[in-house]
Amino acid sequence: MILDEETLELRDMVREFVNNEIIPNAPKYEKKNEFAAPILDIAIDEMGLGCLCQPEEFGGAGLSNVAFLTLSEEIARGDLGIATTLFGNCLATYPVLIAGTDEQKKLWFDTLTEKKYAAFCLTEPNAGSDAGGVQTTAVPDGDDYIINGTKCFISNGGIAGIYTVLAVTDPKKGVLGLSAFIVERDREGVSIGKEEDKMGMRLSNTTEVIFDHVRVPKDHLLGKLNRGFKIIMETLDHSRAGVGAFGVGIAQRALEEATKYAKQRVQFGQPVANFQAVQHILADMAIEIECARQAYLHAGELIDAGAPYKMESAIAKTKGSDTAMKCAIDGLQVLGGYGYMKEYPLEKLVRDAKILQIYEGTNQIQRGVIAGCLLKKY
């Protein structure tokens, strides 16, 4: 698809921020294993990138999904950890947009504006791809629910001021006994557990979040009781296209770095970019990237049109993340031995790319989703 003028202007603005602030500065935070707060403060406070899915009526930009995904690609091109931190706000927000009342939305966006970060609390030690394995409970007590359980691998877990939480409200019903809640970070009993030391995406804060007899009002229940699984699945259907956009961002960066290097690196008396074998690697990377980009844009277009998009979002996630992994590896190969060194960004892109095939539903799960949609269709 062809992007409209407004989206192109936004993309170019964000691209300039990525080139001037993220790409030059992110490596020093990764090397020190520090959260890149100064970069994120600029992104949120000056660029307005804190919650790209925030509606206009609640103080947001009211971006189309196509524009949102386009900007997601650009930020991930700079650094996946920073992109995941910002996108984590939207992942946590989608359940509120899907099922929240106006009062809940106001509470959510007021808190998010003040605290800057939110987190989506689904995953547990025994509940990853199988959301039905959730063991966190929410038990009614007067006008409240009392939540107990531990969530793990939570993006923004340690920095969030507010959470969306999936918990068991009827243990006898399996996935039909799950409910979704809003939980503020400052409620008594909320604490942060282990912070993960990750292979890649190191500028993203990833922690356990522990709920120990956390009391929340019943008006913090999102949607209807025992309908949380449906809300969470709709959330993931929506967010997966964003993971595809992240993958394209990583792949695009790999192509740019590999192409620049191939033009500068001289072997056998000429730049290696002159060799057909290298040219074919770069050409194949470009082909895969453009196909993956059109996949996520098409999913965004369907979401904006109010059309069904479950399969297309899964395709975008799978294609984008597989493309990220392949292009990062191929780009590293173009750099040869230098690609293996931390002085160059390709080894980091390889480390970052892998998580995209895992989080928000592994690519094996995505292929099952796609197959299920096909079997229903035909």
Q: Catalytic residue positions? A: 360
Q: Which DSSP state fits 269?
A: T
- The single-letter code of the amino acid at 78 is G
- Torsion angle, alpha carbons of 121, 220, 225, 85, to 10: -20
Helix axes 276-305, 228-264, angle to 10 degrees: 150
Are the beta carbons of 272 and 336 closer than 8 angstroms? no
DSSP notation for 361-378: S-HHHHHHHHHHHHHHH-
Q: Three-state DSSP class for 79?
A: coil
Distance, CA of 47 to CA of 188 (rounded, Å):
33
Pairing relationship of beta strands 221-222 and 206-217 according to DSSP bridges = unpaired
Structure tokens at 209: 């979040």
Q: Judging by beta carbons within 10 Å of its beta carbon (0-12, 13-18, 19+), is residue 28 exposed, middle or buried?
A: exposed
Are the beta carbons of 228 and 222 closer than 8 angstroms? yes
Are the beta carbons of 356 and 239 closer than 8 angstroms? no
Are the beta carbons of 74 and 63 closer than 8 angstroms? no
In 10 A of CB 212, how many CB atoms?
13
Residue with the two structure tokens 């990853």: 128
Pairing relationship of beta strands 221-222 and 178-184 according to DSSP bridges = antiparallel
Structure tokens at 163: 């959470």
Distance, CA of 365 to CA of 346 (rounded, Å):
28
**Alpha helix (H) ranges present in the chain?**
5-17, 23-32, 37-41, 65-78, 80-99, 102-115, 228-264, 276-305, 310-335, 346-356, 363-377
Please, what sign has the CA dihedral across residues 85, 237, 102, 228?
Answer: negative
